[in-house]
Structure 1
C-alpha cells in the first residue's frame, strides 16, 4: 500500500518542529533511544566542482533522518547520518564505503551521485550486504550489466536507485532534437561512465530516427585547453545542427562557451542541468534533460520543500535533494519495518539481508513520485524533464511522461 498521505502528514509536522529547532539538529522528543544509534550512511561529492550537488543530497538525507527521529520511526533507537565525501572520485568513494561498513550499526547507504563512483562503491557495499539506494546514478550498466539488452545481469542485489536511467534520458534528448528538424548532430563525451553511457544511448536513438552523427569525439574533462580547441575546430568543420555533450557541467559549460553557438545549441543530460552551467560558460539556448519533474511543480514535494526551508540549511536542495530525501526514507522505512517486526526489536548486522529484501518490496509514494523497484533495482517511474537555458537559468519546457 502506498503511504503518500502519511508521508505528507509526517513532513508537515516535521516542518513545524524544525522551524523551532533550527538547522543545528532536533531532539527525538519523548522517544526511547536506550538501545543506541543506527547509522544511515551517505556517499556524495561534498567538495570539489560538484559540491553544490552533494550538499543538497546531504542536507535532504539529514532532514529525512531528523524527521524519522521526531516520529520515533525505529523505537528504541536514534538514527544518525554519517556523510562521507567521495570528491566525485571512484577510489575515494570506495574508501568511504570501506570505512562505513566497519560500523555494525550501519543500516544502509544513500548515494552515490556519479555513476563512475558507484561502480567502485557497489562491490564494497555488496560484499558487506549493505543496501545502497542512489538518488543520482543514471548509467544503465549499474543495474543491468554490460549487455543490458541482449543479456541483462544484475550483479549487486543490494543496489537500487530512485531515478530514471540514461536509457530514458538519452533517447528523449534524441527524440527532442529530431522533432525540431535537426538531422545532423556532433557528439562529444568525457570518457567517463556517465558521459559515455548517455552519449551512447543518445546516438542509438538519434540514428534510429534517421539522424546522422557527423562527429563522435571524446574530450576528457581534464584535457588541456588545446584539446578543447581541437574539438571545437572539428565540430565547426563537421557543420552539425546541434552538439550533444555527454558529461558534467564543469566541462560542458566551457565547451559551449568555446563553440559560441557554432554547430547549434549544446544539449546534455542531468549532469549539465545545474545552476553552475551558465557560470561555467554555458550559452543561452542550450538544452538539457534531467531525471524527474522539477520538485517545485509537484504537489507531493511541497511539504518537503517547506520543511527543508524551515530547517535553515545554508545550501539549496538542488537537483537531487528531493531524490536523496526519498532514498533516505526508503532505507529508513525498510529498517524500521525489519527492526519493528522482530520480537525483541533489536538490531544486528545479520538483519542486513532482510533490509535489502524490504527495500526491494518498497511500494510507496515519495515526494518525487511513485517508488517501487523492478527485479534489477531500477525505479518504476521514468519521468524526465527537458530544460532550456534562458537568461543563465535552466527553465523546464516539458516533462515526459
Structure 2
C-alpha cells in the first residue's frame, strides 16, 4: 500500500515537470470540491493567502495529470472560505463547507480556529489537514485530523532545549498572546527551558490585537533577561522588537514560525537584526522538491512563495493522492489511505503520519535575521 501511494505522488509531479510547469487542461468530468479555510482578510491574511496559493497550485498540478476516479475523469476545485482567524467565524465557515459537500478540508491556519472546527469536520467524517501546531489539535483521538507542520510539543521542546544548551541563555522571560497557538507554544517552550536547566524569570501576556508593549517591556528591562521569547504572530512580534530596541533592551529576541515572514522583516526593520526565529521543517534550499515547486509557483502567481505555501501544497497533494489510490472521493473510503500516506513531497522526502495524524518526520530549523533576511543556522530532528 505505501509503495503504491509513493509511486503515484512521484508520477504526478513528474508529469507536471514534463509539461514545463504549465497547467494541462483537465478532462471534463465530475467536479470534486476541496474545502479550504484560513484568514484571507485582516492582520493575518498574509498567512492565509500564502497557504491558499500553495493549495491552489497543488489542485492545478493534480488536475494536470487528468485524474480518473471510479472510471470517470474528475476535476478538483478549491472552495475557499475566510475564517478571519476567529474561532467563532471558523466554526461558521466549517459548517458552510460541510453544507457545500466538500470532500476534504485543507485548513484552518490557526490552532484556535482549527480545534473547534475539527469537531464539526469529525462529526461529518471529513478529513482535515491543518496548519495548526497546538498538540490539542490531534490529541483527542479523531481519525480525521492531520497536520501540515511540526507540532508545538515537538518544536517547543526542541527550541527550549536549544536556547539553553546551545545558545547558552539561562534567564528567560516569556510573553504570549493568549491564543491557542501563542499560549500553547509558550507553555511547551517554558517546560523545555526548565528541563534543560534554564530559568523562566517572568511570564507575561498580551493579545493578538495589541500594538503597544511599552509597559510589559519596561517591566522586563529591569530584570535584564538573557532572552525574551514571544509566542504569537508577526503583527505583534515586529512592533515588540522595535519597542525593545527603542527602550535599550539588549536581550536576545526569540519567536516562532508566524514571524518568519516578510512582515516581520519589514516592520521590524533594523531592530529585527539578530532575532532568532524557528520553524518546523527544513529550510527551502534543503527541501527535496522546492526548486520545481518554486518554478511552478512563480509561473502561476508571478511572485515568490513565502512561508506556508510548500506545506499546504504537500497536504493537498496527500489528500488528493489518497482519493486517487482509494479510487473514491468518499471520505469513509479514502481516509484510511490518507492515514497510510507515504510520499515524496516538496517539503520532505518522506511525508507520513503517525496514528494521531502528526507528521512522523518533524525537523525544526532555527533562523537568525541577518542583513534583513532569515539565515538558517541549525536544523534539529527529523529524518530529512
User: TM-score scaled to structure 1, two decimals?
Assistant: 0.87
In the alignment, the residues of structure 2 paired with residue 123 and residue 5 of structure 1 have an alpha-carbon distance, to the nearest angstrom, of 33
SS of residue paired to 1:172: helix
Match of 2:186 among 188, 192, 199: 199
* Greater mean deviation of Cα atoms: 270-279 or 199-208: 270-279
Cα distance, 1:256 vs. partner?
0.9
Q: Which runs of 5+ in 2 are unaligned?
A: none
| CA displacement at 1:263 relative to structure 2 | 4.8
Q: Which residue of 2 aligns with 1:50?
A: 44
1:169 is aligned to 155
Task: Measure the CA separation in 1 of the matches of 2:303 and 2:47.
Answer: 9
What SS does structure 2 have at the residue aligned with 1:238? coil
Corresponding position of 2:138 = 143
C-alpha separation in 2, matches of 1:159 and 1:180: 35
TM-score (ref. length: structure 2):
0.91
Q: In the aligned structure 2, how far is the partner of 1:131 from the partner of 1:180?
A: 40
| Residues 88 and 114, structure 1, Cα contact 8 Å, conserved in 2 | yes
Cα 1:96–1:316 shift into 2, 3 Å? farther
Supply the RMSD in Å over aligned alpha carbons: 2.0
Q: Would the aligned equivalents of 1:15 and 1:303 in 2 still touch at CA under 8 Å?
A: yes
Relative to 1, partners in 2 of residues 1:42 and 1:10: Cα closer, same or farther, differing over 3 Å? same
Alignment of structure 1 residues 175-194 onto 2, 5 Å: 175-178=161-164, 179-194=166-181
Deviation at 1:174, TM superposition (A): 1.6
Question: Which residue of structure 2 lines up, in the alignment, with residue 297 of structure 1?
Answer: 286
Match of 1:287 in 2: 276
**How is 1:99-110 mapped onto 2 (pairs within 5 angstroms)?**
99-104=96-101, 106-110=102-106
**Contact 1:12/1:307 (CA < 8 Å) preserved in 2?**
no
Task: Specify which of 172, 193, 198 is matched with residue 211 of structure 1.
Answer: 198
Q: Measure the CA separation in 1 of the matches of 2:326 and 2:372.
A: 47
The answer as to whether partners of 2:342 and 2:351 remain within 8 angstroms in 1 is yes
The higher-RCO structure (CA 8 Å, 6+ apart) is 1
Alignment-derived partner of residue 332 in structure 2: 353
What is the CA-CA distance between 1:298 and the residue it aligns to? 2.1
CA distance in 1, matches of 2:216, 2:274: 21
Q: Distance in 1 between matches of 2:355 and 2:311?
A: 20
Look up the SS of the partner of 1:374 in the other structure.
coil
Structure 1 stretch 65-74 or stretch 3-12: which is displaced more? 3-12
Are 2:157 and 2:192, in contact at CA under 8 Å, matched by a contact in 1? yes
Distance 1:102 1:15 in 2: 36
Judged with a 3 Å threshold, the aligned counterparts in structure 2 of structure 1 residues 336 and 4 are, in CA distance, closer, same or farther, namely closer
Count the aligned residue pairs.
Answer: 370
The match for 1:92 is 89
The aligned runs of 1:66-85 (5 Å cut-off) are 66-74=60-68, 75-85=72-82
State the alpha-carbon separation in 2 of the partners of residues 371 and 292 from structure 1: 11
3-state SS of 1:376 partner: coil
**Alpha-carbon distance in 1 for matches of 2:257, 2:369:** 13
Paired residues of 1:12 and 1:303 also in contact (CA < 8 A): no
Q: State the distance in 2 between where 1:129 and 1:65 align.
A: 22
**Aligned equivalent of 1:381:** 361
Deviation string 1:286-314 (CA, Å, 9 cap, x unpaired) is: 10110101233223332222222222x04
Distance 1:315 1:79, change over 3 A: same
Listed as ranges, the gaps of 5+ residues in structure 1 are: 145-152, 341-346
Contact 1:132 1:159 in 2 (8 A): yes
Offset at residue 326 of structure 1 (A): 0.7
Task: Measure, in 2, the Cα distance between the counterparts of 1:18 and 1:159.
Answer: 34
> 1:147 aligns to what?
none
Check conservation: 1:57, 1:317, Cα contact below 8 A.
Answer: no
Q: How far does the alpha carbon of each residue in 1:230-283 deviate from its partner, in whole angstroms, 9 at most, with x for none?
A: 101111021101001011111011111111161511101111211211222252
